[in-house]
Amino acid sequence: MLKISIDKLSALYDAIAANNELILPVRKAGVVDYASYEEGADVAIDTLKTAKSPKNAFFPQFETLYNVNKKIIPTDASAEEGACEGAGVALRSTLSVEMAPLVDKDFVIFGIKPCDVKGIEVLDNVFLAEPVDNFYKARRDHGILVTMACNEPEESCFCSAFGIDAADPSKAKADVAVWMADGNLYWKAISPKGEALTESVKSVFEDSDEAAVEATKASIEGILAKLPNANLSLDMWGKGVLDDRFYSPVWDEIFKPCLACGTCTFVCPTCQCYDIKDYTTKDGIQRYRCWDSCMYSDFTMMAHGNNRNSQKERFRQRFMHKLSYYPDKNDGMFSCVGCGRCVDKCPQSLNIVKVIKAFEASKAKEGQA
């Protein structure tokens, strides 16, 4: 295990940034989100929860997939149909497709919390499943995750319900685990990628034992146990519960305050719905993909109708997807990591915890009856 004094963290950042793009929590106009480490960046490394999840680094809110270019070229076959007549040289219009470049430089996400690491695992199951999404894969291949223990978890956190250990990031599927304890940052590589990164920045560290880390782990565990939703029951959810939950009357009332905005979706580390759209450019189009939300009324709208026409259906879709459909497809793994961002951010204070609790309550009521 290595350590560096928290006062000297900028030396570590500089060392990492020397060879990689460094992405870490940065405060901008009062809000902390993951952003590039660049001059003047107001790094807020002790932020427990960034407003948005770091999924942007792998699955950006907007990315160009390819360009379709329209070119007008001379053609020798002037008699060919579709060629321009009478304009001297025979011309014809052609299309060519140019795929956007894939990410080919390493980057480091520093300070990512264990729940968000799990969130990336959730995305992996979607984007790396056949057929592989190469845009995502390139970023995954080049992304190095430095995950940090959550020293002071808050009441909106419920990651432990999903088996995530906020005290011990070394259990996460990341590359380096770090802790902040007694004025130092402790560093431990947990993957070959992590070891390579460690090697390149080793000079800024000194060796250390694990005593301080162990103490911090114990303290965090103590707090985690006291969190109000530490023991949130997921018994009613997972594989094979589709029919029972889908038709539940709980949905009939609970969705009502939902604004149909995309706040929960866009701050969520696991939501991965996207839209593909065209932008007309000078000589063709740019086809891009951008985040979309299943909560939006036009998400499934077609020319002749909408298969999820009411907000109830759309609301149900989001939670059924996270707690039932996704587990069905991924061996019981939930598409929620308990980061609690939706708990903090929902304009109407409606969130996945309330949904889970509402189902529990309705089951308890049925039990009584």
The contact mask relative to other proteins for 38-77 (x = CB under 8 A, - = no) is: ----------x--xx--------xx--xx-x-x-x-----
Q: What's the min distance (Å) between Cβ of 199 and other proteins?
A: 29
In the bound state with other proteins, the residue whose beta carbon lies nearer, of 50 and 170, is: 50
Pick one of 293, 334, 336, 352: the residue that binds other proteins (CB under 8 A): 293
- Locate all alpha helices (DSSP H) within the chain, ordered by sequence: 9-19, 114-127, 134-142, 192-201, 211-226, 242-246, 250-254, 263-267, 311-320, 326-329, 341-345, 352-368
Considering only the stretches 170-178, 190-198, 212-220, 307-315, report the one whose residues sit in contact with other proteins under the rule CB under 8 A: 307-315
Q: How far is the CB of 84 from other proteins (least distance, A)?
A: 4
Q: Which is nearer to other proteins, 112 or 267 (CB)?
A: 267
Within 205-224, which residues bind other proteins (CB under 8 A)?
223
* Structure token digits, residue 40: 């003047």
User: Least CB distance from residue 186 to other proteins, whole Å?
Assistant: 22
Nearest to 198 by CA among 176, 179, 218, 221: 176
Give the Cα separation of 126 and 181 in Å (integer).
Answer: 36
Site for other proteins, residues 162 to 191, rule: CB under 8 A:
none
- 135 vs 179, which CB is nearer to other proteins? 135
CB of 23 to other proteins, least distance (A): 16
The verdict on 134 binding other proteins (CB under 8 A) reads yes
Query: Of 211 and 301, which has the nearer Cβ to other proteins?
Result: 301
Considering only 14, 18, 19, 28, the residue that binds other proteins (CB under 8 A) is 28
Q: What region, left, alpha or beta, does residue 106 occupy, with left being phi > 0 and alpha being psi -120 to 50 degrees?
A: beta
Q: Which is nearer to other proteins, 192 or 367 (CB)?
A: 367
Interface stretch with other proteins, choices 3-11, 39-47, 183-191, 321-329 (CB under 8 A): 321-329
Q: What phi and psi values does residue 72 have, to the nearest 5 degrees? A: -105, 120
**CA-to-CA separations, 125 to 128, 143, 296, 334, in angstroms, rounded:** 6, 17, 24, 11
Smallest distance from the beta carbon of 222 to other proteins, in angstroms?
9
- Which of 14, 19, 36, 95 lies at the binding interface for other proteins (CB under 8 A)? 95
Chain centroid to CA 18: how far? 26
Centroid of chain to Cα 195:
24
| 28-54 burial code (b ≥16 CB/10 A, e <16) | eeeebbbbebeeebebbbebbbbbbbb
User: What Rg do the C-alpha atoms of the chain give, in angstroms?
Assistant: 24
Scanning 1-9, 141-149, 201-209, 326-334 for contacts with other proteins by CB under 8 A, the matching segment is 326-334
String marking each residue 104-133 x if it binds other proteins according to CB under 8 A? ----------------------xx-x-x-x
Selected binder of other proteins within 11, 91, 204, 234 (CB under 8 A)? 91
Query: Which residues touch 234 (CB under 8 Å, ≥6 apart)?
Result: 161, 162, 323, 334, 356
Tell whether residue 296 is a contact of other proteins (CB under 8 A).
yes
